[in-house]
Amino acid sequence: MRIRFHKLAAVVVLIGFAAWMATGEFSSVGSVAANKAKAAEAEQAKAPDAAKPKQAEAEPKAPLRTVAVVTPPRKTYARAIRISGLTEADKRAVLATRVAGVIDKLPVKQGDHVKTGDLVLMLAAEEKISMVDNAKQLVVQRQAELDAALRLMKSGNLPKLQLDTARSN
């Protein structure tokens, strides 16, 4: 079995990483200075109290720095953006009628805003009115036929099947 280079390199890196984690030394930059500072603190803790002030005086202090603070005034800022161009609706609707007919009224024009319930078009209703009148007359006729069928049924001159047909009409 032959081990490829990239697999071998991955194993070497993994072993090196595990060894580094086992040492506990995670910071290589400045770690020597940090160790010296920790050692100095440990020595100061072990030394008697009289020696501490002398060491503190021997170390030079960093100069204090001056910091300026400014409170800015509050101003209302309204930003206006002016853009020229054309806008286009993001929604379109297809208009269709349930019945065919001639348009009688068209109160809206192209580009008008339309709300729910607004009248968009009205179809001519002359033929619809005559169709409604015909339907009413047919209802009256069928009711008269049903009444006659009921009378014939009571007298026994009409089969039940024909009465059911008259009721369904």
Q: Is residue 144 part of a domain?
A: yes
Q: Is residue 152 part of a domain?
A: yes
**Token pair recorded at residue 102:** 């001639």
How many separate domains does the chain show? 1
- Specify the DSSP class assigned to residue 74: P
Q: Is residue 142 part of a domain?
A: yes
Let me know: does 124 contact 101? Beta carbons within 8 Å: yes
Quote the pTM value: 0.30
Q: Can you give the C-alpha Rg of the chain in angstroms?
A: 50
Q: Is residue 148 part of a domain?
A: yes
Q: Which domain holds residue 151?
A: 135-168
Q: Is residue 164 part of a domain?
A: yes
Q: Is residue 141 part of a domain?
A: yes
CA dihedral for 26, 30, 32, 36, sign (positive or negative)? negative
Q: Tens place of pLDDT for every residue, the chain, 169 residues? A: 677 899 999 999 999 999 988 887 766 555 555 566 666 666 666 655 544 555 555 567 788 888 889 999 998 888 888 888 888 878 777 888 888 888 888 999 988 888 888 999 888 877 778 889 999 999 999 999 989 888 888 888 888 888 788 888 7
